[in-house]
Chains A and B, each alone.
Chain A
Amino acid sequence: MWQVRWVLKPVVFAACLLPALHLGLGALNATGVLHFGGISLGADPVKVMLHTCGRWTLNFLMITLCMTPLKDLTHSVFWLRFRRMFGLFAFFYVLLHFSVYLLLDQSGKLGALWQDIVKRPYITIGMLGLLLLIPLALTSTAKSQRRLGRRWTQLHNLIYVIATLGVWHFWWQVKKDIREPLLYVGGLTLLLGYRLWKRRPRVSVARFARTDAS
């Protein structure tokens, strides 16, 4: 399977970087430093950068959560080879999201950041989601996975909490048009619902098994 490692993965990796590249070029155009083929972030580039990074964080969280259902549906572990990469891209985009917020939107004022965290519930939960993602990113290596064993799975179950916090953070900050956050709520409900459904108690099966045995 060298093709996956040396061809497919690098291609997917590059594709995951495209939104960041677009924002980077757009930001350079907005400052007037450079002019790249008509990429414009519009009249309020900071807001576009903030929201785009936020959206891609949620997108990558959702994509990461899709890998296990895809494995189950296709009976192939192929999908799991991409799970770590997608999870780390969620972390990458949330770091960008936070950096844009702190450095560009709030002009790097830590006092303003702290005020927001304390006073604004949607920022409190967003921040909590980011902090919870840090241990997951740090223990994403195969080595950590081996070392932590079962506790690794327990720790990484935090992804369900993080994804919920992220969607909630989005829901709480929109002014009125909740259609887009509603899409994420729907996606998350499906993905988490699938896990619950998988873990449903198989009462009837167990009973049949007992009957067979007796």
Chain B
Amino acid sequence: MRKTSRDLGLIVPSDITPYEQYLSRRTLIAGGLGLMAAQSIGGFAGKAFGQPPAALTYVHNAALSATEAPNSYADITTYNNYYEFGTDKADPAENSQKFRTSPWSVTIGGEAEVTGSFTLEDILKPHPLEERVYRLRCVEAWSMVVPWVGFPLGDLLKRFKPTSKAKFVEFKTLFDPKQMPGQRSAVLEWPYVEGLRIDEAMHPLTLVAVGLYGKVLPNQNGAPLRLIIPWKYGFKGIKAIVSIKFTERAPRTTWAGAASNEYGFFANVNPEVDHPRWSQASERHIGANAFGPRRPTLPFNGYAAQVASLYSGMDLRKYF
């Protein structure tokens, strides 16, 4: 059953997730009352974020959602690694507000029967949206829990009928230094490139996210569309995607290219394999309990039951 959620556009300056409110709103929808839930969802951090993003129509996928409480909207939208808008975690929220996500098109290329340039509407149209609450583990040893709205990447990729030669998928972020001030410095090689093995890309957990907390994805979180691969370190989740290419060989990804001894192509969350300069055995959880103890990091970020079989027989120390 699909219902519309909408809010009145109230801005609630709160740093704390009104999670009960969020849940009750969800219950309303699930209960089929079909009423417009007249509650504001996230706590907006303030006027800096301009107009509240538009609400999305989606269903909640409880089976694939984490049970932990999500981080607050303010945390998720003000603590971002998005070097295109600056290297400080607060930079993207500040520098991305005027970023234009419309019109937007995505180029599909490489080893597939259907290729070409598609508008964002073409890309999104056939896909029903669902909400999934995923754990997010950054390679910098911090973590969050985020309620994304999106659809499985596999469903999108199948539409382009990849050929038998398509062993990998390469993704690229927009390159537009005028809009993305971070790209004016050579801190990374631009545009940002990420890649997945085709079976990873087709895995049902791999998500194309277009929303957050039931609303359109904010620019600082990778609007208009980004990847979420919850068992991998956050940097695999490429943002503002403009190109998808099916390839026979593993693409040269940005972080692996920048420091191949520190960041691998796979980048699966693995407490056993430390970053050369820091431990990956534990993580600090962002948010309400900021001064709480570090949490142990789980293999594949807690998604081992679903994804470990993708890597059976592989030496994960070598293919980190």
Contacts and interface: CB of A to CB of B under 8 A. Distances in A.
B3 interface: no
Interface in B259-313: 259, 274, 277-279, 284, 286-287, 290-291, 293-294
A30 interface: yes
B291 A46 contact: yes
16 contacts: A30-B291, A42-B79, A43-B89, A44-B286, A44-B290, A46-B284, A46-B290, A106-B294, A116-B279, A120-B279, A173-B277, A176-B83, A176-B87, A177-B87, A177-B187, A179-B187
Binding site secondary structure of chain A:
helix
B291 A43 contact: no
Contacts of A106: 294
Is chain B's interface secondary structure helix, strand, loop, or mixed overall? loop
B188 interface: yes
B188 A44 contact: no
Interface in A9-38: 27, 30-31
Contacts of B74: 43
A42 B89 CA distance: 9
B140 A175 contact: yes
Contact of B284 (A30, A105, A172, A177): A105
B320 interface: no
A115 interface: yes
Contacts of B90: 42
State which size class the interface on B falls in.
20 to 34
A183 to B, nearest CB: 14
A45 interface: yes
A45 B259 contact: no
A104 interface: yes
A47 B291 CA distance: 10
A152 interface: no
Interface string B56-78: 00000000000000010011001
A14 to B, nearest CB: 27
B142 interface: yes
A42 to B, nearest CB: 6
A106 B295 CA distance: 10
A18 B142 CA distance: 28
Contacts of B284: 44, 46-47, 105
A79 interface: no
Given A42-B78, A107-B294, A172-B277, 10 more contacts: A42-B90, A43-B75, A43-B286, A47-B142, A106-B294, A116-B279, A176-B87, A176-B188, A176-B259, A177-B187
A122 interface: yes
Interface string A99-130: 00000111100000001100111100000000
B201 to A, nearest CB: 26
Nearest to B287: A43
